[in-house]
Chains A and B, each alone.
Chain A
Amino acid sequence: MWTIRLAWRNLWRNKRRTLITISSICFGLVLALVFIGLGDGTYGTMIDSAARLGSGHITLENRDYRMSLSTRLTLHSIDDVVKRFKGLREVEEWAPRILGQAMLSTSYGSVGAAFIGVDPEREKGTTLFIEKIIEGTYLEESEGRGALIGSKMAERLKVSIGGKMVITANNLQGEIAGELLKVVGIFKTGSEMIDGYVFQIPLNRARKLLGMNQGEVTQLAIFLDNQRDTDHVIEKLKKNLSNFKEVAVLSWREVMPELASYVELDGSSNYIFQIIIFIIIAAGILNTILMSVLERQFEFGVLLCLGMNPLNLLFLVLTEALLLGLLGVTTGSVLGLACNHYFTVKGFNLTLLTSEDVDISGVALDPILYAHLYPEHLIITVVLVFLMTILVGIYPAVKAARSVPIEVLKKGK
């Protein structure tokens, strides 16, 4: 016990140095926490956005579909499949989808495009497209002829709300089929690819066009409350669906590998950056503690002469380092959490730096970054910094314990 009290008093013998050291630790920790928080928040948001614009966090599709993306490779009897995961608490929503390629024509021209047949009722809760609508409304009924097209496509086809379009596609038998559509809504995501080449139509209209049966779809998109549950929900699903041989269970990482790459890479570079910061700060802390030991070598020498156990001296210095660590980490955590809170609520506005819309591999990125520090990242970071402080204290502590009395006394003037 006395070690702690002594260590504490020793620290405050040199207020300036102690404060400087504590603020170094604090600075490093705050920086780390803010970057990790922004990273976590951004990746989470990006993944959710990509999932909601695409095929969900988890996608169920025909086993062979991903290889050739052929319309003919479908899922059948989806009602049975849905029963196997409907009850899972992590699942927020699910939606059936029919995907294909088609030609859209108006009296002014035609474009080749990709369509997504959706069930408007199910999509209302999850799809990102609704938020991106700039004109008109979302699709209404599942039986209707409405179409939701992108702003660039509307330009190319010279069509507006209420306008007619004819969709022509090759159905499952390979024959050419056509249907009439009316534009009910126009969206703008900011991504040229999506705004110019992707459109949504009601599920049953797609079904009719392609000649699919009831209960037959291309994909089932599953949306989770928390994207971090993805992997273990996939485990559960694979078990539940083991009887359905034709069904493949894919995570967003497999469906959007480039997004996965981005998250990995950015995450890694974030870590590298933090490691560098830590090293720099560790060097500084080492400096301080070492200096404090060296200037007290005379003292220590005297103590050792008087019979103090060298090990005690070692622990004393270590305790000083520990206390420094604690103080630094505490102030750093509080400040770091405060900053994170600010960014969670207000966000970090990228548009201060750029005016263009941003996209990664075709997925449009929200220009305001929100932080969202995951608890385990907070704990790991804090613990790491704390440990680092203690580790750094080892060398000086050993040095202190080894202060050979006579030589030190000699040196100490």
Chain B
Amino acid sequence: MRVSLAITLPLVTLSLLLLFVLHSESLSEELSSQAILDKIDKMWRGESSRGTFSMKIKTAHWERNLRIKSWTKGLDYTLIRIEYPKKEKDVSTLKVKNNLWNYLPKIKRVIKVPSSLMMGSWMGSHFTNDDLVKESTLVNDYYHHITFEGEREGQGVYELTLFPKEEAAVVWGKIIILMRKRDLIPLYEVFFDEKEKPVRKMIFNDVKMMGGRLLPTKMTVVPYDKPGEFTEVIYIEIAFDMEILDTFFSLRNLTR
């Protein structure tokens, strides 16, 4: 499970909501990016979440099912704990600002994860450490504009194309998001390398009401270069905007 899962989702939703707001106000009115960021900032203040989700990972050599619990506060704080399977119960990750720790209950040790040694993928999934650690946000690091508006497969959709800003520390060359016109719920997100070759795709399904919001509760990541492999995340429950103190995100809580 990943930090940005809990973050990206609301983030995407929020930025889309923002666009929805823009759209409903007036298409011809273009807010400056500064103003957009401002609005997002304000929206994010005090944002927190607590949730439980399952993750199924299928690779060429094995298949795994995990159940994970997560707490987040803003962009800076995240605590993740594995609840199932038994072998990995209580393996936890703590992110506080730009520091990352892992707790391994079997040996009762906390290790600080150094950036140069993080394994390519997070816990063997198709999410990358880039996703986990980077502070990159779709809003801060990318320019976006609507590249298509109309009907696809019987639905009214918007297609958004995002290009990274010049100085943004992100690996992608381009991102395309397709979302439902009526409620700006994303349908899928495709990530391209800088030569604009698709590398992975995130597919969103099972739109439901959860925690007081309408959102896709199932997300699947599929790599283009490894057919048959995928990582699937299904939200079991999630709640937003409750009171969590910063001190909750501590090494003590990490080891519980």
- Chain A residues near B (Cβ < 8 Å): 101-103, 105-110, 112-113, 145, 162-170, 174-180
B87 nearest CB across to chain A (Å): 26
Task: Known contacts A108-B199, A164-B194; decide if A180 and B170 are in contact (CB<8 Å).
Answer: yes
A168 contact from B115, B193, B225, Cβ within 8 A: B115
Q: Which of A169, A170, A179 has the most CB of B within 10 A?
A: A170
Interface secondary structure of A, over-half rule:
strand
Q: Does B32 contact A (CB under 8 A)?
A: no
B100 contacts across to A, CB distance below 8 A? 176
Return chain A residues, CB-CB under 8 Å to B128: 105, 110
Is B116's beta carbon under 8 Å from chain A?
Answer: yes
**Which B residues between 127 and 148 are near A, CB-CB below 8 angstroms?**
128-130, 133-135
> B158 on the interface (CB 8 Å rule)?
no
Are A178 and B134 within 8 A (Cβ)? yes
Cα A170 to Cα B172 in complex, Å, equals 22
> In the complex the two chains form, is B97's CB within 8 Å of A175's CB?
yes
Asked whether B170 lies within 8 Å of A166 as measured between CB atoms, the reply is yes
The answer for the CA separation of A101 and B173 in the assembled complex, in Å, is: 25
Q: How far is the CA of A164 from the CA of B196 in the complex (A)?
A: 12
Question: Contacts A106-B171, A164-B171, A174-B99 given; 13 further ones with Cβ under 8 A?
Answer: A101-B114, A103-B115, A107-B193, A108-B193, A110-B129, A112-B116, A145-B167, A168-B115, A168-B118, A168-B133, A170-B116, A175-B99, A176-B115
- Choose one: B117, B192, B199; the contact of A112 (CB below 8 Å): B117
- Which A-chain residue is minimally distant from B200 (CB atoms)? A107
Q: Is the CB of A103 within 8 A of B116?
A: yes
Assess whether B116 is in contact with A102, with CB atoms less than 8 Å apart. yes
**Min distance, Cβ B200 to any Cβ of chain A, angstroms:** 8
- Give A170 to B113 CA distance when docked, in angstroms: 9
Q: How far is the CB of B243 from chain A (nearest CB, A)?
A: 26
| C-alpha gap A103/B100 in the complex (Å) | 14
Can you give 30 A-B contacts (C-beta < 8 A)? Answer: A101-B116, A102-B115, A103-B118, A103-B129, A105-B129, A105-B171, A106-B171, A107-B172, A107-B191, A107-B193, A109-B120, A110-B129, A110-B130, A112-B116, A112-B117, A145-B167, A164-B170, A165-B171, A166-B130, A166-B169, A168-B118, A168-B133, A169-B115, A169-B116, A170-B115, A174-B99, A176-B115, A178-B133, A179-B169, A180-B167
Measured between beta carbons, the chain A residues less than 8 angstroms from B97 are 175
Interface residues in chain B, defined as those with a beta carbon under 8 Å from any beta carbon in chain A? 97-100, 112, 114-118, 120, 128-130, 133-135, 167-173, 191-194, 199, 225
Nearest opposing residue in chain B for A111, CB measure? B120
Cross-chain contact of B116 among A163, A166, A168, A174 (Cβ < 8 A):
A168
Q: CA of A84 to CA of B112 in the docked complex: distance in angstroms?
A: 40
Q: Is the interface of B mostly helix, strand, loop or mixed?
A: loop
B116 contacts across to A, CB distance below 8 A: 101-103, 112-113, 168-170
B98, B118, B168, B199: which contacts A175 (Cβ < 8 A)? B98
Shortest Cβ distance from B129 into chain A, in angstroms? 7
**A107 CB contacts on chain B under 8 angstroms:** 171-173, 191-194, 199
Q: In whole angstroms, how far apart are the Cα atoms of A178 and B129 in the complex?
A: 12
Instruction: Report the nearest A residue to B118, measured CB to CB.
Output: A103
Alpha-carbon gap, A19 to B194, bound state (A) = 76
Task: Find the residue from B112, B114, B172, B199 having the highest chain A CB count within 10 A.
Answer: B114
Cβ–Cβ < 8 Å partners of B115 in chain A: 102-103, 168-170, 176-177
Measured between beta carbons, the chain B residues less than 8 angstroms from A177 are 98, 115
Q: Given that A110-B128, A169-B115 are contacting pairs, would A180 and B133 also be in contact in the complex, using a CB cutoff of 8 Å?
A: no
Contacts of B193 in A (CB 8 A): 106-108
Nearest CB in chain B: distance from A208 CB, A: 11
* Cα distance A156–B78 in the bound complex, in angstroms: 31
Q: How far, in Å, is B254 (CB) from chain A's closest CB?
A: 16
Q: Cβ of B98: which chain A residues have Cβ within 8 Å of it?
A: 175-177
Cβ A105 vs Cβ B114 within 8 A: no
In the complex, which residue of chain B has the Cβ closest to the Cβ of A167? Answer: B169
